[in-house]
Structure 1
């Protein structure tokens, strides 16, 4: 049994979207929980088993999987027929894993620090900076419409997400803007927006 602990309009929304893109949304129990939000609203929910009160948290047959990149990898491995991940042995499996890890290890820290106005040589040396993130994305997207080539993948779903939540971070680079538009034009995006809106008011 698969259970996803989800708070609408949060980082876990991209996991709900992934489930929709995989075609398995009806196979997962989604439990809506509250979280502490940046505006001071909400708070930890005792119904959420995540030890830090965060989302997303996926539980599969009693085993918890946390952190978005790990959940994306787990689900795309569990449901390979959708073609949103890369199976073991695929020529670009390593590239897929690298994009997933790069998001959590580099992209999110860089964007959060930039949004907070935090700059320090130690941070730049460790995580790199916005120019390096933009250069890496634009280098790939100037060659292919999506990060792994001609088709949308879970890597695109993950890497596009900060620019959807925080459009002010979107660089003024045509290839990146066009990629964001392609990703967000997929029908699953509107379905998840509607799903979250319904559960925000519930």
Structure 2
């Protein structure tokens, strides 16, 4: 049994999108939980097994998996036939894994620090900054429509997500903005948005 603990319009919305991209919606039980929101609303839900009360959290036969990239890696490995990730042992697999871990280890911290107006030499030395982040994406997308080539993958789903939330933060480089538009045009995004809107209303 797969159970996803999800809060509408949050980081776990990416996993809802992934589930639909993979065609496994009938294999995952989705439990709606509350989380503390930045505007002060919400709160920790005792039904949520995540150690910090965050989302997403995935339970699989009693085993808890947390953190978005880990859940993406877990699900795409569990259902390789979905085609959302390169197969182990292929060269593209290494690139795929690099994007998943770069997102959580570099991209999101850099964007959070930038949004909060935080600057410090330690942060720059460790994570670099927005110009380096933009340059890496522009280089990757210079001659191909998606991060891994001609096909959309779970890496695109994850890495484009902050720009989908904060369109004003999308770099002006057309290679990046066009890629974000392609990702946002996926049917899974419309399904996720409608699902989250309905879940909030309920």
Equivalence for 1:160: 160
Equivalence for 1:83: 83
Tell me the distance in 2 between the aligned counterparts of 1:200 and 1:90. 41
Tell me the distance in 2 between the aligned counterparts of 1:101 and 1:195. 27
Equivalence for 2:134: 134
Q: State the Cα distance separating 1:26 from its structure 2 match.
A: 1.4
Q: State the Cα distance separating 1:152 from its structure 2 match.
A: 0.1
Tell me the distance in 2 between the aligned counterparts of 1:186 and 1:76. 18
Q: State the Cα distance separating 1:159 from its structure 2 match.
A: 0.2
- Unaligned runs of at least 5 residues, structure 1: none
Query: 1:117 and 2:122 equivalent?
Result: no
Q: State the Cα distance separating 1:168 from its structure 2 match.
A: 2.2
- Specify the SS of the correspondent of 2:91: coil
Tell me the distance in 2 between the aligned counterparts of 1:176 and 1:125. 25
Equivalence for 1:17: 17
Tell me the distance in 1 between the aligned counterparts of 2:177 and 2:55. 28
Q: Is the 8 A contact 1:11 1:55 kept in 2?
A: yes
Q: State the Cα distance separating 1:167 from its structure 2 match.
A: 1.7
RMSD: 0.6
Task: Give the TM-score of the pair, scaled to structure 2.
Answer: 0.99
Equivalence for 2:32: 32
Task: Give the TM-score of the pair, scaled to structure 1.
Answer: 0.99
Q: State the Cα distance separating 1:148 from its structure 2 match.
A: 0.2
- Specify the SS of the correspondent of 2:64: strand
- Unaligned runs of at least 5 residues, structure 2: none
Tell me the distance in 1 between the aligned counterparts of 2:180 and 2:138. 12
